[in-house]
Amino acid sequence: MKNLHIFITAILAMTIISCSTEVDQESFFEGAAKSAVYASISSRTSGIMKENGSGFFYMVDFKFSPEELISADNTVYRQEFARYAACMATDVYDNSMLSLTNGTASPSSAADNTTIYSNFGFKDAKEFKLLSSDYTTDTEDITNFVISHSNIRSGSTEYEIIMLTVQGSNATREQWYSNFDIGSTNAAYTSTHPKWTDTNYHKGFFITAKRADTKIQQYITDNVSSTAKKIIFLTGHSRGAAITNILGAWYEKSTAFEKTFTYTFASPFVTTNKTDSATYKTIFNIVNADDLVTILPAESWNFTRNGITKKASIIESESLKSAWYLLIAYQREAISGEYVSSGANSAACAKNIASSSANRDELYTIGNTEDDLYCLAAASEDEAKTRLKTIRDLKIDKFANLSIVENNGKYTVQGYMSPAFMFNFIPAMIVSSSNAVLMNGLPKTGKYNAAAQVILVAAANGGLAKSHDPSCYYLLTENM
């Protein structure tokens, strides 16, 4: 099927490339996507993924039904399950949409994040949105997810198949800052985060997973047969993958579930308990080795993922690069078709990321040497005040002791900082590219410099976006 999929992609790609870039995307979406090419694959589900408002879309296909989970071995990686999971993990983003064109009882688009599940035999699909206003502490540790279920009788046994899809980071400040709040085991930190009850885990991901689990259990109580054997299938991309990885670990060991299936895409590292993490046999983590997100937090800080990681580099494989170009062949002029790696597959990249801190606790420790001095020049006192206000509005001033310093009529925002201050420039720049100017205050030499250069280069060359893009992960499901 893989060769057929690439062959079909190549045919449509050649057709598209021969057209003007002014071709109306919606016309193509409604026309070519429903062509006889896909009609020949009647036994499969096929469609078009319109991804993340990025201006391009790509063809997808898979074979999946909840009934398969009853007899499937959950300790064996299934390519078809992974392809389905990758599509759902992308569709759950608010500005992504899977439009089904073949192989379902009622083809539809999933603009609302829930409609699509009925095409796979699931019902009562519900989207949960955890909000900062719901909580009085750790208000940034929130997420969105969709849950649904399918009641199936096999012989004399009743099963409930539960589908859980966790959304990756949205465009809001809160979730991005939660991504970088890994947590310190020092008492001064833990005492102010009482909900972080397992400090082996990344603090932001752990608390978010606990909050999601509360909603998940309530949904099961309200919608799922209490007498049926329960099987759960979980997936997510990026932040969603990290939360899914933790939930998948909890549920694999829970007696509440007959079986669990967990497929994650682009998951960061989530835990420092390497002994426990290696015991999980039903969690499969798909990783693009070029993706910076997948080497954070630093592995040298003792971080890892639960379960089994399947990894490949697109930049190092000519066949994978060619397949990616074909996958996204139709795109608007504003979208660059060049695949860009963040360089994460380089040993130097991981070493540079880790260079600022010996461990997770040091990450939060404000230094007192020349290497720890942040100094952002300003053209005037008013500009200095504006820069300092921006840092405070971003709520990262807690990772540094900053003030405005005047010397012979020249003004700087200045003070000692912790490594966490520097790493939080990543979400700051994601929230607004204008915040990149704040990095100018970082020391040009010393322990921070190497890590800062990784961040700047990745942001500048698009590596944070391209190698992390869900399209890469759909592609990788075919090659694992």
Q: Which residue has the tokens 């539809």?
A: 108
CB 89 within 8 A of CB 236: yes
Question: Span 187-203, mean pLDDT?
Answer: 97
Residue with tokens 């944070």, as numbered in its chain: 464
**Nearest to residue 426, comparing CAs of 401, 396, 389?**
396
DSSP symbol at 340: -
Mean pLDDT of all residues belonging to the chain: 87
Residue 421's pLDDT band (boundaries 50, 70, 90)?
very high
Judge whether residue 6 has pLDDT over 50: no
Q: List the single range of 50-59, 249-258, 384-393, 438-447 with lowest mean pLDDT.
A: 50-59
User: Which residue type occupies 373?
Assistant: L
Dig out the tokens for 472 from the structure: 């890469």
Higher pLDDT residue, 94 or 30?
Answer: 94
- Give the C-alpha separation, 358 to 374, whole Å: 20
Lowest-confidence pick of 4-13, 61-70, 250-259, 351-360: 4-13
Higher pLDDT, 455 or 404: 404
Give the position of tokens 């969603």.
240
Question: Rounded to two decimals, what is the model's pTM?
Answer: 0.89
Distance CA 468, CA 202 (A): 20
The 3-state DSSP class for residue 346 equals coil
- Looking at the predicted structure, is the pLDDT value of residue 414 above 50? yes
CB neighbourhood size of 322 (10 A):
14
Sign of the alpha-carbon torsion through 364, 459, 315, 248: positive
| DSSP state string for 165-213 | EE----SSHHHHHHHT-----SHHHHTT-TT---TTB-HHHHHHHHHHH
Which residues neighbour 290 within 8 Å (Cβ) at sequence distance 6 or greater? 313, 314, 315, 341, 342, 343, 344, 345, 463, 467, 472
Residue 464: the pLDDT is: 63
Q: What token pair was written down for 301?
A: 């800080």
First to last CA, the chain: 14
Q: How many Å apart are CA 221 and CA 350, to the nearest integer?
A: 44
Q: Look at 416 and 40; give whichever has higher pLDDT.
A: 416
The H-or-E segment that residue 455 falls in is helix 449-461
- 347 pLDDT tier (thresholds 50, 70, 90): confident
Position 340 scores a pLDDT of 82
263-282 pLDDT tens trace: 999 999 999 999 999 999 99
The CA-atom distances, in angstroms, between 68 and each of 65, 150, 254, 334 are: 6, 12, 21, 41
| pLDDT, tens digit (0-9, with 9 covering 90-100), for 293-345 | 999 999 999 999 999 999 999 999 999 998 888 887 655 434 456 788 888 88
Sorting pLDDT into bands at 50, 70 and 90, what band is 173? confident
**Per-state percent for the chain, helix, strand, coil, to nearest 5:** 40, 20, 40
Q: pLDDT category, 34, cuts 50, 70, 90?
A: very low
Single-letter amino acid, residue 328: I
Read off the DSSP letter of residue 398: G
Residue 365: which residues within 8 A CB-CB, separation 6 or more?
Answer: 418, 419
Checking if the pLDDT of 187 tops 50, the result is yes
Query: H or E segment at 224?
Result: none
Q: Decide: 419 and 448 in contact? Cβ < 8 Å.
A: yes
